[in-house]
């Protein structure tokens, strides 16, 4: 392939067409580097299709740790590659563009968490896996959206819990557990927060026979439950699900149409899992610009030049690893974020 990799006005790597020649070169370079290619469910379809494994961040990190490959290429956002490095400290971890961040992970830093802990001495810190390595290092137990309730329920009922950073997932956990001593950090994913209850209600009204798949990070999760309570949609059609849970439910559903409230990259995997079902986004603008920074050109650059490598300070990695391993011991977090 002779295509020249360029950067557009936003700094995103472009200039490569994801055709068969690109696929051959990517596969050949991956083999040369002894690399396993991992792609998150929110990635561009062509990135998902070229990957050796596609899924949620924690499941992919666990695959990376178990893989015989010496190099991990993580097509996702930076905290995901960090988690892979935490679980696989001896392996080389690359991300095609290190600038691919996360608004949710950025909504709390280690200094803020330490200050919050001082306000609540003795509290147990539960951090969503969608956090930086430094925050994980200040955490007692990490969680995913699929096992957050189990993690919180594993903590003695009379012990305060600090839950960060996602306020909508925290509200979901508080609603399910009924726990009054659960304190929630006011963070959010800008993409999921933008999927609001008003547009969900409008889509439900327009397609009353549809089933609803709603990610608990969404601003509309409470609205979905309200609609079910009011009878606007049968309660058994409202599914609050992690990304992994959505794929499982997609294979089981008997609905002809499903409205999906999460980042639109998820639709690619859902349509592959159940091609006879009409999956439609609640908000077709719910696209994460950070996820979409991992372009075909960025992946090719990564494999050609060994860029960008993700490193985590050993002391931080050791402390963070404990929080992640405690999470894995509680429930089955395979559905991850």
Spatial distance between the Cα atoms of 10 and 8, rounded to a whole number of angstroms: 5
Residue 4: the pLDDT is: 81
For 57, 60, 179, 320, the CA distances from 65, given in Å and listed in that order, are 12, 9, 35, 15
For 29, 120, 190, 219, 259, the CA distances from 224, given in Å and listed in that order, are 45, 33, 19, 10, 11
Residue 3: the pLDDT is: 67
Spatial distance between the Cα atoms of 174 and 184, rounded to a whole number of angstroms: 9
Q: Show the tokens assigned to 115.
A: 């200050």
Given CA atoms 294, 64, 59, 62 in this order, what sign does their dihedral have? negative
Q: Give per-residue burial for 236-270: e unless 16+ CB within 10 Å, then b.
A: ebbebbbbbbbbebbeebebeebbbbbbbbbbbbb
Spatial distance between the Cα atoms of 200 and 212, rounded to a whole number of angstroms: 9
Spatial distance between the Cα atoms of 197 and 214, rounded to a whole number of angstroms: 11
Q: Shortest CA distance to 58 belongs to which of 34, 74, 35, 36?
A: 74
Give the SS3 label for residue 164: strand
60: which residues sit within 8 A by CB, 6+ positions away? 38, 39, 40, 53, 54, 74, 76, 80, 84
Q: Shortest CA distance to 184 belongs to which of 165, 199, 203, 202?
A: 165
Q: How many CA atoms lie within 13 A of 107 on its CB side?
A: 19
DSSP code for 64: H
- Pairing type for strands 13-14 and 6-7 reads antiparallel
Phi, psi angles (nearest 5°) of residue 101: -95, -155
Q: Contact, 78 vs 283, CB < 8 A?
A: no
Residue 330: the pLDDT is: 78
Residue 229: the pLDDT is: 74
Q: Contact, 260 vs 267, CB < 8 A?
A: yes
The residues of the chain scoring below 70 in pLDDT are: 1-3, 226, 331-337
Residue 61: the pLDDT is: 79
Residue 37: the pLDDT is: 98
Spatial distance between the Cα atoms of 260 and 239, rounded to a whole number of angstroms: 10
Residue 235: the pLDDT is: 85
| Burial of residue 5 (number of CB atoms within 10 Å: 0-12, 13-18, 19+) | middle
Q: Show the tokens assigned to 205.
A: 């009204």
Residue 1: the pLDDT is: 55
What would you measure as the largest C-alpha separation in the chain, in angstroms?
63
For 12, 40, 80, 138, 333, the CA distances from 242, given in Å and listed in that order, are 29, 13, 16, 25, 10
Reported pTM: 0.92
Spatial distance between the Cα atoms of 184 and 187, rounded to a whole number of angstroms: 9
């Amino acid at each position: 392939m002779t295509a020249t990799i360029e950067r557009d006005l936003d700094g995103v790597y472009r200039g490569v067409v994801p055709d068969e020649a690109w696929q051959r070169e990517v596969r050949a370079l991956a083999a040369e580097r002894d690399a396993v290619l991992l792609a998150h469910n929110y990635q561009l379809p062509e990135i998902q299709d070229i990957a050796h494994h596609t899924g949620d961040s924690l499941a992919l990190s666990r695959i990376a740790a178990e893989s015989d490959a010496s190099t991990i290429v993580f097509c996702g956002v930076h905290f995901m590659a960090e988690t892979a490095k935490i679980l696989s400290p001896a392996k080389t971890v690359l991300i095609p563009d290190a600038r691919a961040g996360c608004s949710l992970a950025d909504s709390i830093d280690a200094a803020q968490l330490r200050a919050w802990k001082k306000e609540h001495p003795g509290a147990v810190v539960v951090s969503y896996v969608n956090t930086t390595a430094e925050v994980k290092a200040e955490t007692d137990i990490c969680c995913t959206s699929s096992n957050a309730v189990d993690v919180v329920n594993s903590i003695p009922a009379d012990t305060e819990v600090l839950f960060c950073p996602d306020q909508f997932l925290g509200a979901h956990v508080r609603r399910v557990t009924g726990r009054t001593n659960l304190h929630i950090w006011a963070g959010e994913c800008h993409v999921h927060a933008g999927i609001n209850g008003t547009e969900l209600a409008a889509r439900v009204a327009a397609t009353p026979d549809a089933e609803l798949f709603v990610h608990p990070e969404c601003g509309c999760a409470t609205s979905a439950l309200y609609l079910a309570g009011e009878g606007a949609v049968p309660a058994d059609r409202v599914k609050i699900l992690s990304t992994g849970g959505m794929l499982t439910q997609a294979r089981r559903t008997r609905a002809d149409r499903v409205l999906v409230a999460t980042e639109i990259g998820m639709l690619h995997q859902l349509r592959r899992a159940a091609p006879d079902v009409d999956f439609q986004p609640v908000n077709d603008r719910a696209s994460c610009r950070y996820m979409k920074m991992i372009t075909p050109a960025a992946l090719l650059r990564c494999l050609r030049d060994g860029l960008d490598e993700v490193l985590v300070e050993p002391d931080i990695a050791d402390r963070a690893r404990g929080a992640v391993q405690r999470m894995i011991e509680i429930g089955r977090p395979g559905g991850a974020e």
